[in-house]
Amino acid sequence: MTAPNTTTTQAPAVSVKPVAIVYAVTGTRPAQVTVTRTERGDVLYQCQCHPFALWGDCPHAEAVRAERRKQGRK
């Protein structure tokens, strides 16, 4: 039995970046806030603290915004 003949090719150069960052907000009502960036560069905050998804208009998203400002992020 002979060993299989395998050839390797170099992988193309790729760019790796995060698609979304998830923050855990603790407190009386813990929640998770997902931060994403659109193609135009807008930053979106999505929280699942209600039965439907909120896009940045709840106390959890405001807490994440404040923390990101302290870190020097948008």
Tell me: the pLDDT tens digits for 15-70?
877 789 999 998 888 889 999 988 888 888 988 887 776 676 888 889 999 999 99
Can you give the pLDDT at residue 7?
Answer: 66
**pTM (2 d.p.):** 0.68
Q: Which of 54, 62, 55 is nearest to 27 (CA)?
A: 62
Q: Is the dihedral of CA 63, 67, 48, 36 positive or negative?
A: positive
Can you give the pLDDT at residue 10?
Answer: 72
